[in-house]
Amino acid sequence: MPLPALPERAIVIGARVRDWRAAVTRAGDALQRAGVTRASYTQRMVRTVEDHGAYIVIAPGLALAHARPGRDVLTEGLSVVTLAEPVSFGHPYNDPVRVVLGLAVRSPERHISAVAELANVFNDESVIASIAAAERPADVRALLRS
Amino acid sequence: MKILTVCGMGIGTSILLKMNTEKALKALGASADVEASDIGSARGAARTVDIVLISHDLAEQLGDVPAKVIEIQNFLSVDEISQKLAPEV
């Protein structure tokens, strides 16, 4: 199964944020702007980190922000936010974060298949640095399609 | 052998870790059942498995369990998972 859609409106290049909360919020705002989610999904993504810690920083420099499927997910989608200045999430090994992915899907089953697809893309970890260095949304889309 | 991968909700990072653990097992020529779990059910689920793969933060939340708990730093690194699993499988 393919990755959820990544519309250009859901890609933010070189965002300036002061902390992890703002970084996750930008990823949520991007999903909302693309018509994928409502604002409450963004709040739930932030709460996931508050409740469970920074484990969403799954690899050096990369955070995978998401919450459980819910009625505030209108359709499935991805967002990508690259940060002008990296921020700390409080992860013991993988800070600082340069790239935040936002993921929203409508069922647990689809969530699993979307994450599996992301695992395949990011098994080549050089993709993280390439996304962080991307200058245009089209470059990010091309990297995630690879 | 049974392996449990754990994250906060059981549908995101733990699935990523499960996929990469299956790749690591294949690279090691080993086989095991790998299941993903959320941290809330992990304590119970950890009673019926041999190995738990988990992040540092969540390992502290999990506390003492009968299974061997292995912390994974980089959930995308099949190499790291392979190295840490190799002595166990």
Best residue of A20, A44, A50, A115 to probe chain B, by most B CBs closer than 10 Å? A115
Per the structure, the count of domains in chain A is 1
A108 domain residue, yes or no = yes
Q: Can you give the CATH number for the domain in which A132 is found?
A: 3.40.930.10
What integer pLDDT is reported at residue A131 of this predicted model? Answer: 97
What integer pLDDT is reported at residue A134 of this predicted model? Answer: 97
What integer pLDDT is reported at residue A53 of this predicted model? Answer: 87
Task: Give the separation between CA B20 and CA B17, rounded to whole angstroms.
Answer: 5
A3 domain residue, yes or no = no
What integer pLDDT is reported at residue A146 of this predicted model? Answer: 57
Report, as ranges of residue numbers, the positions in chain A whose pLDDT lies below 70: 1, 146
Say if the ipTM goes beyond 0.90. Answer: no
SS3 B67: coil
Distance from CA of B12 to the nearest CA of A (A): 6
At the top level of CATH, the class of B2-74 is alpha beta
B69 band by pLDDT with thresholds 50, 70 and 90: very high
A2 domain residue, yes or no = no
Verify whether the Cβ–Cβ distance A52 to B75 is below 8 Å.
no
What integer pLDDT is reported at residue A1 of this predicted model? Answer: 67
Domain extents in chain B: 2-74
What integer pLDDT is reported at residue A37 of this predicted model? Answer: 98
A85 domain residue, yes or no = yes
Q: By residue range, what is the domain housing residue A138?
A: 8-145
CB A99 within 8 A of CB A62: yes
Write the Ramachandran bin of A71: left for phi over 0, alpha for psi from -120 to 50, otherwise beta. Answer: alpha
The residue-averaged pLDDT of B61-70 equals 94
What residues of B are labeled active site? 7
**CA distances, A43 to each of A37, A39, A75, B51 (Å):** 11, 7, 17, 34
Task: Express each pLDDT in B18-57 by its tens digit.
Answer: 999 999 999 999 999 999 999 999 999 999 999 999 999 8
Distance from CA of A137 to the nearest CA of B (A): 23
CB B40 within 8 A of CB B58: no
A31 domain residue, yes or no = yes
Query: Could you tell me if B40 lies within 8 Å of chain A, comparing CB atoms?
Result: no
